[in-house]
């Protein structure tokens, strides 16, 4: 993928700034983009958005220094296509192709390298941000606008939008070898803790770590190890479905590119809701349309028109509550949370992805990220669950999600904000450093032009 170059990047930033100045004071500020990986339906706004055209590419790559300057709207799919020819990749590559680098930094991203590399924003070296004041400023750790740099992760546009991000890169090997290890639920926490501490299993290195709980009695951890040999690997973009392979084989090998996108083809397991995993349907479903962004568009159409919901009501089936969440639970409490979740929610399977904030010698590491306050030196497991559950008689839409929020807090965890949230303002400010965010907004958005984080994540429009 060709780089955009600094002159074209500067022109794109000027178009973005001009579009911001053109939005009348008091009018909502939003990105003029057609795709999203968020699950927060909002009323459509008939107002102009920020012009982000020309801000979706890689600016430059420094193979020797192992860094890349990347525009904020560049997808990880395009970023990986640009870095792999240099034998490099971002420290953390979120599992869906169309997640943007800016989105992963201002929101949260995670993947199977997170137990050793933390979250995407931790490998950021500096970034340029269009703030609420209309100014594009550079933020760097321990340098200019350090308070903006520290508070930007998990701010979801409430502090501005990244136009350029410089990230550290790490070397890759041609392939990744996998071992799918079945773990009794009562040993899950201890096993994860050991793997995160030692980075090895049975004498072999562990470079990637995630897993799937199909039920409380069937939990697998997938251990990935770099493989320096060239050659083909298993193909899960055709008739075979990746998550099912965890139950079918104990070992596997994928090319590095296919490994990075192993979850995208079937949106983890969510493609089954569209029939895309049925053998007959899969044979006629074009391979180029087996992608997370295609399924996300289908969900968007259902949110907009509600055709499937109407059919279900005609069949006499109950309305459903959407339960689409990722939560971080500290090791030592994961098995207990999974037991509560299976009994109270009953959604299967769920994704498991251990993570830990970066060690002190890593780029951008060992620092506080106040809007998502994970403890340095502590191991967490991301538990991801995405689907819907029937609304029980006498219950209301949102009851299950509220119960999950309470359980996450009771287990000492945190919840990502890309989907539905039901916290009170007081709870939200306590969990997500509301006072810190207010102080930074006062510096970089003195006229309060950008929508606040609580209003974005919780308040309904």
Span 10-58, pLDDT tens digits:
999 999 999 999 999 888 888 866 656 565 555 445 556 899 999 999 9
Cα(111)–Cα(208) distance, rounded to whole angstroms? Answer: 8
Whole-number Å distance between alpha carbons of 91 and 328 = 19
Residue % of the chain over a pLDDT of 90: 83
Query: Which tokens belong to 203?
Result: 């004498």
pLDDT interval class at 164 (50, 70, 90):
very high
Helix (H) or strand (E) holding 337: helix 334-344
Q: What is the CA radius of gyration of the chain?
A: 22
Residues near 229 by beta carbon (within 8 Å), at least 6 away in sequence = 174, 175
Residue whose pair of structure tokens reads 């090895």 in the numeric block: 200
- List, in order of start, the domains of the chain with CATH numbers: 6-44+51-172+442-457 (3.30.465.10)
Q: pLDDT > 70: what percent of the chain?
A: 91
Q: Are 175 and 227 in contact (CB under 8 A)?
A: yes
Q: Does 361 have pLDDT greater than 60?
A: no
How, if at all, do strands 67-71 and 58-62 pair? antiparallel
pLDDT at 364: 47
**pLDDT value, residue 461:** 42
- pTM of the entire predicted model: 0.93
How many Å apart are CA 17 and CA 210, to the nearest integer? 40
């Amino acid at each position: 993928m060709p780089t955009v170059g600094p002159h074209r990047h500067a022109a794109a930033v000027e178009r973005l700034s001009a579009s911001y100045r053109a939005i009348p004071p008091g009018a909502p500020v939003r990105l003029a983009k057609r795709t999203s990986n968020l699950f927060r339906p909002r009323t459509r706004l008939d107002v102009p958005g920020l012009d982000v055209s020309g801000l979706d590419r890689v600016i430059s790559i420094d193979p020797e220094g192992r860094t890349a300057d990347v525009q904020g709207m560049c997808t990880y799919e395009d970023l990986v296509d640009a870095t792999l020819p240099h034998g490099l990749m971002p420290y953390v590559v979120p599992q869906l192709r169309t997640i943007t680098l800016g989105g992963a930094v201002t929101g949260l991203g995670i993947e199977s390298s997170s137990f050793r590399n933390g979250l995407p924003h931790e490998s950021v070296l500096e970034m340029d941000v269009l703030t609420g004041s209309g100014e594009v400023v550079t933020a760097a750790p321990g340098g200019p606008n350090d308070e903006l740099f520290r508070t930007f992760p998990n701010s979801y546009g409430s502090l501005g939008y990244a136009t350029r991000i410089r990230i550290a890169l790490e070397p890759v090997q041609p392939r990744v070898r996998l071992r799918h290890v079945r773990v009794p639920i009562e040993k899950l926490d201890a096993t994860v803790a050991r793997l995160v501490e030692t980075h090895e299993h049975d004498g072999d290195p562990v470079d990637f770590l995630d897993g799937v709980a199909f039920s409380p009695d069937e939990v697998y951890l997938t251990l990935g190890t770099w493989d320096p040999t060239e050659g083909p690997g298993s193909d899960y973009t055709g008739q075979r479905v990746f998550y099912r392979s965890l139950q079918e084989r104990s070992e596997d090998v994928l090319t590095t590119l296919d490994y990075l996108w192993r979850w995208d083809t079937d949106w983890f397991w969510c493609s089954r809701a569209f029939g895309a995993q049925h053998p007959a349907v899969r044979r006629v479903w074009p391979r180029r349309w087996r992608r997370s962004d295609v399924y996300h568009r289908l969900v968007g159409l259902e949110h907009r028109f509600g055709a499937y919901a109407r059919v279900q009501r005609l069949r006499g089936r109950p309305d459903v509550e959407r339960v689409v969440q990722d939560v971080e639970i500290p090791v030592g409490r994961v098995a207990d949370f999974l037991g509560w979740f299976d009994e109270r929610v009953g959604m299967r399977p769920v994704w498991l992805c251990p993570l830990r904030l970066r060690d002190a010698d890593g780029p951008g590491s060992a620092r506080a990220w106040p809007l998502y306050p994970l403890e340095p030196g502590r191991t967490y497991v991301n538990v991801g669950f995405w689907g819907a559950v029937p609304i029980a008689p006498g219950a209301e839409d949102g009851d299950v999600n509220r119960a999950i929020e309470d359980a996450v807090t009771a287990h000492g965890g945190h919840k990502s904000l890309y989907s539905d949230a039901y916290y009170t303002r007081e709870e939200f400010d306590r969990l997500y450093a509301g006072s810190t965010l207010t102080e930074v907004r006062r510096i970089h958005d003195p006229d309060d032009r950008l929508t606040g984080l609580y209003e974005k994540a919780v308040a309904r429009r």
